[in-house]
Amino acid sequence: MSTPESRTDAGAVYRRYLSAVMLHGHASAKACDLGATDLYALNLLELEGPMTPGVLGARAGLTTGPTTRMIDRLEEAGYVRRVPSPDDRRKVIVEPIGKPVRLDEVMTPAREEIGKILRGYSPEQLDVLFDYFTRAAEAYRQAVDDLRATS
């Protein structure tokens, strides 16, 4: 439901939402004994599949040294492994092989609450929401690429 505040200050409402999502991500990572960037990297690998350390680091916003240390931590924890690239044996690919045992437990309460909220929308409203999520995600990825290109 739209509220008077959401209609007059949509930017503030949206920033509060993004802040809550980010805070939940940080708290979830900590509850799983991970850093937020480590959990983000696992999410990238789960969503997009195996990738080179360079691509993973770039997507996570890390330089080569921190990327190597992050992959070392994730590998030591049993969440990823490095395998030779099928295209070039000199390169490696990072692939997901596990996830934190507590991740589903940690994420379930928020997922259930979000599910309740979504069940309150009509199929047409859900179509609009998911169209927005898809298009906004691409807009943010493009904005990141643009920022990196000019930095």
And the tokens for 149? 């290109």
| Inter-residue contact 52 to 85 (CB < 8 Å) | yes
Residues 6+ apart with CB under 8 A from 126: 118
First-to-last alpha carbon distance for the chain, in angstroms, is: 40
Q: Which pLDDT score is estimated for 89?
A: 84
Q: Which pLDDT score is estimated for 8?
A: 73
Q: Which pLDDT score is estimated for 7?
A: 66
pLDDT, block means (10 residues), the chain with 151 residues? 65 92 95 95 96 95 95 97 92 95 94 96 96 95 90 78
| Inter-residue contact 82 to 56 (CB < 8 Å) | no
Total-model pTM: 0.85
Structural domains of the chain, with CATH: 10-120 (1.10.10.10)
Q: Which pLDDT score is estimated for 1?
A: 54
